[in-house]
Structures are given as C-alpha cells and as structure tokens.
Amino acid sequence: MDDSLRQLIEAEPETTPRSKLEPYYDVIRELRRKRRTYQQISRFLAEHVHLSVAASTIHAFVTVRAKRRSRMVYELPDRTATNETFQKHAAPTEKRGSREIQALRQKPRPDPTELPFQYDENEVLKLHTNTPGHE
C-alpha cells in the first residue's frame, strides 16, 4: 500500500462502538460460557456495571456476533505470490453433499423402453400393466 494512503488511514479517528454492550463483550461471552441466561446477564450488568439493558437486547447482541464469528474469511493472495501459490489457496473446497451428487450422476439411467408407461402427446397417459418387470 502506498505510504500516503497508509498515513491517511492512520489519521482517521476510530468510531465509537454502535452498541453500548460492546465494551462488555468479553464479560457477556464469559457469562454465557458459564451457562448464564440472558436475564441473569442483564441483572449482572445492572448490579455491577450500572447498565440497564433488556435480556432480548443481550440475545440480539450475542446472536449477531456469533454469525460474524462463523463467517468464513477470504483473503486475497499477495501480489508477489506465484501462480502455484494462488491456485493452492484459491482451490474451491468440496461442497457438502457433492459426493452424493457425483454418485447419482454416475448411476446408470433406466432404459426408457422399460418404463411402465408410454407417452403420446395426442393421447392420455396410460399405465401398461403387462410391461416386463413392472407387474
């Protein structure tokens, strides 16, 4: 990154937290690890920190941060990285269920002549009960 851009970024002041619970994130997380309910955490914050907050607000706060933590982080490779390094890190991971999909694709398809019905666009679909193997 260019030094002038880096200086501009460093000169930018940090913004204040959007949530009044942000300074107590570690406290809330530790209390949740100790299996405290949101109501108990609300009472704890009111008694010890003098912060009045609803249990539902704490729940929303924890839920949003749990979603953020579970998101996958993607990083761009360094510009000086070789093509081999890029391909190694950028290789797509196997998606859930892809083995099952591949197995279905490789499964032989039934012969249309062996199906227990025949389609004629000018007639009603009829079930043939005398088709071998489908009695």
Write out the chain's pLDDT in tens, 135 residues.
Answer: 678 888 888 888 888 778 899 999 999 999 999 999 999 999 999 999 999 999 999 999 999 888 776 665 666 666 665 555 555 555 555 566 678 888 888 888 777 666 666 667 888 776 666 655 554
Segment 64-73 long-range contacts (CB within 8 Å, at least 24 positions apart): 65/25
